[in-house]
């Protein structure tokens, strides 16, 4: 299950050795609501291999500013502490899963 990442727990969440997927969203965002179940499903499928976090931009504003998030949804992919990929907007499960697979490669 995806972890709800806030300003309070961001440092702890980011300390993992696993590759990280961060989904930046907002409660008022329609495309975010479309993407959320896909991210949740993939977080379960990749449990133990990829750390998946969900960041409400209003609850994790420090992380939002750190990664320069300007539009939601934005999903970033981090490996070895560096952003290696990202996308903005809603995507199909197949497209998102391909990015999860690439992160493991």
pTM reported for the whole predicted model: 0.96
Active site residue 29: yes
List 10, 29, 60, 63, catalytic entry:
29
pLDDT in tens, 2-11: 999 999 999 9
pLDDT in tens, 60-70: 999 999 999 99
Q: Would you call 32 a catalytic residue per the annotation?
A: yes
**At 1, is the pLDDT very low, low, confident or very high (cuts 50, 70, 90)?**
confident
For residue 20, pLDDT beyond 90: yes
**Crossing angle for the helix pair 30-45 and 93-104, nearest 10 degrees?**
50
Which of 5, 21, 22, 32 is the catalytic position?
32
């Amino acid at each position: 299950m995806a972890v709800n990442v806030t300003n309070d727990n961001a440092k702890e969440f980011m300390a993992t050795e696993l590759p990280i997927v961060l989904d930046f969203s907002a409660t008022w965002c329609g495309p975010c609501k479309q993407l959320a179940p896909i991210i949740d499903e993939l977080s379960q499928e990749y449990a133990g291999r990829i750390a998946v976090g969900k960041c409400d931009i209003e609850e994790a504003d420090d992380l939002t500013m750190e990664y320069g998030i300007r539009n939601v949804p934005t999903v970033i992919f981090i490996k070895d502490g560096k952003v290696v990929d990202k996308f903005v907007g809603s995507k199909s499960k197949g497209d998102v899963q391909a990015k999860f697979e690439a992160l493991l490669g």
